């Protein structure tokens, strides 16, 4: 039996509320567009997407996450900037960026990649870009105004503490994906 798995860092409830309010403002202004807006309860920072993972490999992954958590202490992040992927002219994803003065998230990612590689998971080929996905544009060619508005907006910064790493299962359902927690590991470094 396999599960669709990813590893993430959650955001605080206050940050979740603020990001949700921001999403709702954009959603109301651009209600005529086909956009997959992220739901408040699903907001997270993906550290590593693993896809279909067997129960046996999931055990090894849990060990890798525990080892990672032992290396990193709690740290602070600030949600602050607005951005899009892949480019402003061809935006498909709207995101909010993170300020990480001490590069703790980057360190967490590097350790996690090494630990996962040690138990047989391939390293991510793309470089890590910490971001919080808030929307997927279903019709990018019709959504240029929305992308521009998002890029011009100033998101009022909010700081929060990262205290754990989470392994999630993502179930794809007709009404969208649903996440459930497989394991939460407190940072202990």
- The total of structural domains in the chain comes to 1
Beta-sheet strand order (sheet of 164-173): 44-54, 2-10, 164-173, 176-186
Residues 38-78 pLDDT 10s: 999 999 999 999 999 999 999 999 999 999 999 999 999 99
pTM across the whole model:
0.92
Domain that holds residue 62: 2-186
The four Cα atoms 131, 134, 138, 142 give a dihedral, to 10 degrees, of: -100
Instruction: Report the CATH number that the domain containing residue 42 is assigned in CATH.
Output: 3.90.1140.10
Residues 125-180 pLDDT 10s: 989 988 999 999 999 999 999 999 999 999 999 999 999 999 999 999 998 889 99
Q: What is the mean pLDDT of the chain?
A: 95
């Amino acid at each position: 039996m396999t599960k669709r798995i990813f590893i993430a860092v959650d955001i605080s409830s206050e940050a979740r509320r603020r990001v949700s309010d921001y999403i709702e403002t954009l959603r109301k202004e651009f209600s005529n567009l086909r956009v997959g807006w992220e739901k408040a309860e699903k907001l997270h920072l993906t550290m590593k997407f693993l896809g279909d993972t067997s129960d046996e490999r999931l055990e090894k992954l849990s060990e890798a996450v525990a080892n990672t958590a032992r290396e990193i202490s709690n740290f602070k992040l600030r949600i602050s900037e607005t951005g899009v992927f892949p480019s402003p002219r061809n935006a498909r994803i709207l995101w909010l960026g993170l300020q990480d003065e001490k590069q703790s998230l980057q360190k967490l990612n590097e350790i996690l990649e090494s630990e996962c590689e040690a138990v047989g998971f391939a390293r991510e080929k793309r470089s890590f870009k910490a971001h919080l996905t808030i929307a997927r544009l279903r019709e990018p060619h019709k959504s240029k105004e929305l992308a521009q508005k998002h890029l011009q907006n100033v998101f009022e910064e909010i700081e929060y503490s990262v205290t754990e790493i989470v392994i999630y299962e993502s179930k794809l359902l007709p009404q969208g994906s649903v996440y459930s927690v497989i394991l939460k590991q407190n940072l202990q470094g």
